[in-house]
Amino acid sequence: MKLFPAIDIRNGQCVRLRQGQFHDVEVYSHVPVKVAKSFEAAGAAHIHIVDLDGALAGHSVNEEIIREIVQAVSIPVEVGGGIRTAKDIENKLNLGVRRVIIGTRAVEDPQFVKECIRNFGADKIVIGIDAKNGMVATDGWEKLSSYNAVQLAQEMESIGVKTVIYTDIAKDGMLSGPNIEHTREMVLRTGLDIIASGGVSCMKDLDDLNSIPVYGVVIGKALYENRIHLGEAVKKYGKR
């Protein structure tokens, strides 16, 4: 199981939202690049970045900070938030980002995803599926679509997607434990590499997700609140 420590960027700062609510935000660092370097120093093999301003605006907002992070660390960085066009993807890859996460556009236009896989390769494209009560949310989690999360994952798989980050919005930033049931369903009903996101609060949550088994897990607030020590988690899981 791969570990993806998370950096969510809002107004140039490293923050965490509660249940995706942009008005319910907590700032953990004014210098996201320092956080990234601390993750690498703790042994992380990957970094997960979300441009929250970009997700809301529909275009990249914190690109210079992302560039700074990519240049400051030697481990792969994946980025999501506001990626809506092929040019957006090209720009991120040119920054040195290893792979990009497409969310809203995947719901609106699956054909776009198919073209991106053809043009950039399936290893460069990750689909972010963010769900409320099993239904997919878009536009920075502000809008609810008519897609069931598993249904969307299956459609993405059929067009060549290999990896999905599945987030239960109700769990995100709440430290209440991941949605094991829905995540397991996603794993069992698709052949995708599923990265679980939202609600991870302790090492037991990592154990539970590993038993499903998921391909990877995004860890955010639990790291910032010192409920999970990254070095310890890496020692147990991160090098596999």
Q: Which residues are catalytic?
A: 8, 130
- The helix (H) or strand (E) run that includes residue 57 is helix 52-57
- What residues pair up with 51 in beta bridges, in sequence order? 9
Q: How far apart are CA 143 and CA 36, in angstroms?
A: 30
* Span between the terminal Cα atoms of the chain, in Å: 6
How far apart CA 194 and CA 183 sit, in angstroms, is 8
Plot region of 79 (φ>0 → left; ψ -120 to 50 → alpha; else → beta): beta
CA distance 237 to 216: 9
* Peptide bond before residue 213 is cis, with ω within 30 degrees of 0: yes
